[in-house]
Amino acid sequence: MNNHNSFRHAVVMGAGPAGLTTAYELSKHGIGATVLEKDPEYVGGIARTAQHNGYRFDIGGHRFFSKNLEVEDLWTEILGDEMLTCNRLSRIYYRGKYFDYPLKATNALLSLGPVETVRCMASYAWAKLTPVREPRNLEDWVRNQFGERLFQIFFKTYTEKVWGISTSELSADWAAQRIKGLDLTQVLKNALLPPRELKERGEVIKTLIDEFRYPRFGPGQLWETVRDLMAERGQPVQMGQTVERIRHENGRVVSVEVRDQAGSVRQVRGSDFVSSLPVRELVLKLDPAPPRAVLAAARSLSYRDFLSVVLMIRRRELFPDNWIYIHEPGVQVGRIQNFKNWSRWMVPDEETTCLGLEYFCFEDDQLWKSTDEELIALGTREVVQLGMCERAEIFDGAVVRQRKAYPVYDDVYLDHLGTIRQWLDANVPNLHLCGRNGMHKYNNQDHSMLTALLVARNIAGVTKLDPWKVNADAEYHEEVRDGEQDLSGRQMPSRVREEEPVA
Ligand SMILES: Cc1cc2nc3c(=O)[nH]c(=O)nc-3n(C[C@H](O)[C@H](O)[C@H](O)COP(=O)(O)OP(=O)(O)OC[C@H]3O[C@@H](n4cnc5c(N)ncnc54)[C@H](O)[C@@H]3O)c2cc1C
């Protein structure tokens, strides 16, 4: 919180949902902001909508759904009728068959067929007779609850594609928290008994939501509109401007050093500085550098990257789903988006379809280093192998790469984030962190936006709320105290810990 009342101008690093929400909210309080974005073309960050020859596509697929009504209202305030309501259909594809997602016992067993169903039941019975005592890894935990065969079909391949780690190396904690006490007997009981009535909105389980909102032209439309509104208010977002250094002196950040596309460097000054940059990059850009322990903590933060191969196909309809989870072994693609089924305005020609094939990877993987041509060839091979279309129907393609799509939660990240936060709070209190990578939180847009709203209001002096107390559902939780376990990020699997030495 600021204690100086003189000149107020914020410098906002990044024009993703967090950065743009900060600037938009600050403008409501009469405080100017210079928004610096390194991308020369797109605003919206990971929630941008990229374009290729008239086709529009997301980085992933961005559902607009929030338990936070203020965020929902903000979407309506900015886009009005341009926010469409979509029905959700997403299924699992495995060995030529589609399974409902979220999984439904009767549908799953019917689709597997009688022979496989008997095998799954026998394997479940065997798991119950021979459970792994105190399962520590995900594989043993899921096998205990569902049996080996169902584990192989519905858990193993997709989890390994997303996280790039064998399920035998992933900790059981994540599954235990997400799937709670559920096992096959419970699932079958639920399938046969009438559903319990949901009492309030908060009770709806995330994956069960079958409706969501979506801007007519994709999530980028929201952020392009905010960009345009900011320009109308005399504060255009500065594109192609990479923040390279963050200078601080006497306990305050005083300026950031920015490099433009042509390579020229300038200083941008302000009274408050807001960062949605990945925490690791932010800390390494501080000048003078913070102590070695803080730098080491920043360097230890890690990320998972993501790329999407977009294929344009000359066929009116391929499948009715918004997206499909690919559990099929033998292909690398993890999920396939069908953008036309999100909004028909995402394709320029209704006789065609645009698919986004999602590959989860690390930036030093061979996959990431492949050329666009190689990736389009891979995507083409896989989509044909999956039987979704003919090779001859594919007439165009593009590749979108997203570094640091997912901040990784490993055993040490919370301690290291704590070290960083403590140093920043004590040494540069006019530097405010918000957003997904900006706070190293694996969360959705609504979380990024609410943290940004709080930061803006703190700067304006109208509130004094701690953005770190916003949870994964974009709800503010005052009761989280310093030092308590941080549950504000979505749950994510981590590696099995080393065995505790026996005393
Ligand atoms: C595959 C996938 C699917 C998703 N699906 C959904 C969904 O269905 N619904 C949903 O609500 N959310 C979804 N999300 C999450 C959503 O994309 C993020 O929560 C949101 O984009 C985070 O916004 P942000 O502003 O915090 O960060 P970002 O979007 O990462 O924006 C940060 C911005 O900072 C800029 N920047 C970085 N470094 C610099 C620098 N040095 N100088 C200047 N600028 C810089 C970047 O270019 C970027 O524009 C999904 C994310 C992924 C990866």
Residue ranges of domains in the chain? 1-43+237-299+410-503, 49-102+205-215+303-407, 104-157+169-188
Q: Is the pLDDT of residue 16 over 80?
A: yes
Q: Residue 171 gets which letter from DSSP? A: B
147-172: string of b/e by CB count within 10 Å (b at 16+)?
Answer: bbbbbbbbbbbbbbbbbebebeebbb
User: Tokens representing 362?
Assistant: 């690390």
pLDDT band at 195, cuts 50/70/90?
low
Task: Give the pLDDT score at 333.
Answer: 96
Element counts in the chain: helices (H) and strands (E): 15, 19
Is a pLDDT exceeding 50 seen at residue 170? yes
Give the number of C-alpha atoms closer than 13 A to the C-alpha of residue 389, restricted to the C-beta side: 22
Give the lowest-confidence range in 162-176, 227-241, 355-369, 488-502.
488-502
**pLDDT attached to residue 401:** 97
Angle between helices 219-232 and 69-79 (to 10 degrees): 70
230 in contact with ligand 1, CB cutoff 6 A: no
Distance CA 186, CA 281 (A): 46
pLDDT value of position 199: 46
Would the CB of 359 count as within 6 Å of ligand 1?
A: no
User: 47: CA distance to ligand 1 center in Å?
Assistant: 5
Percent of the chain with pLDDT over 90: 69
End-to-end CA, the chain: 47
Write down the CATH superfamily of domain 49-102+205-215+303-407: Protoporphyrinogen oxidase, mitochondrial; domain 2 (3.90.660.20)
Q: What are the strands of the beta sheet with 353-361, ordered from one edge?
A: 97-100, 90-94, 323-326, 335-338, 353-361, 303-313, 394-407
| Residue 270: pLDDT over 80 | yes
Q: With the C-alpha atoms ordered 386, 379, 212, 206, is the resulting torsion angle positive or negative?
A: positive
Chain center to CA of 167: 21
Distance CA 270, CA 276 (A): 16
How many CB atoms within 10 Å of residue 406?
19
Cis peptide bond upstream of 278, omega within 30: no
Distance CA 351, CA 316 (A): 4
Convert 292-313 to b/e letters by CB count within 10 Å (16 or more is b). Answer: eebbebbebbbbbbbbbbbbbb
Of 453, 473, 482, the C-alpha closest to 465 is 453
> Separation of 488 CA from ligand 1 center, angstroms?
17
Task: Output the CA 119–ligand 1 centroid distance in Å.
Answer: 43
Separation in Å, CA 107 to CA 110, 117, 142, 184, 395:
5, 11, 20, 14, 35
- For tokens 């309809």, what's the residue? 317
* Average pLDDT estimate for 126-144: 90
Q: Decide if pLDDT at 164 tops 80.
A: yes
What is the rounded average pLDDT of the residues 317-330? 94
**Residues facing 171 on adjacent strands:** 137
Rounded distance from Cα 440 to ligand 1 centre (Å): 11
- Assign 59 a pLDDT band (cuts: 50, 70, 90): very high
Q: pLDDT tens digits, residue range 383-395?
A: 999 999 999 999 9
CB 405 within 8 A of CB 305: yes
Statement: residue 502 has pLDDT above 60: no
- Rounded Cα–Cα distance for residues 454 and 25 (Å): 9
Cα(435) to centroid of ligand 1, in Å? 8
Predicted local distance difference test score (pLDDT) of residue 442: 86
Answer yes or no: is pLDDT of 196 > 80.
no
Ligand 1 close to Cβ of residue 306 (< 6 A): yes
Confidence of residue 163 (pLDDT cuts 50, 70, 90): confident
Q: Which of 46, 274, 310 to mutate to test the pocket of ligand 1 (most atoms within 8 A of CB)?
A: 46
Q: Is 466 left (phi over 0), alpha (psi -120 to 50) or beta?
A: beta
Residues in the chain, total = 503
Domains 1-43+237-299+410-503 and 49-102+205-215+303-407 equal at CATH topology level: no
Of 11-20, 108-117, 460-469, the one with minimum mean pLDDT is 108-117
Record the tokens describing residue 23, joined without a space: 């600037």
* CA 436 to centroid of ligand 1, rounded, Å: 7
Give the closest residue to 381 by CA, choosing from 334, 317, 331.
331
Q: Choose the CATH number for 1-43+237-299+410-503 among 3.90.1150.10, 3.20.20.70, 3.40.605.10, 3.50.50.60.
A: 3.50.50.60
Ligand 1 within 6 A of 18 CB?
yes
Q: Is 14 in the pocket of ligand 1 (CB under 6 A)?
A: yes
Query: What secondary structure letter does DSSP report for 316?
Result: S
Confidence (pLDDT) at 7: 79
Those residues whose C-beta lies under 8 Å from the C-beta of residue 370, and which sit 6 or more positions away, are 378
For residue 91 and ligand 1, the question of a CB distance below 6 A is answered with: no
Give the helix/strand (H/E) hosting 137.
Answer: none
AA identity, residue 372? D
The average pLDDT across 90-119 equals 86
- Answer for the pair 311, 365: CB distance below 8 angstroms, yes or no: no
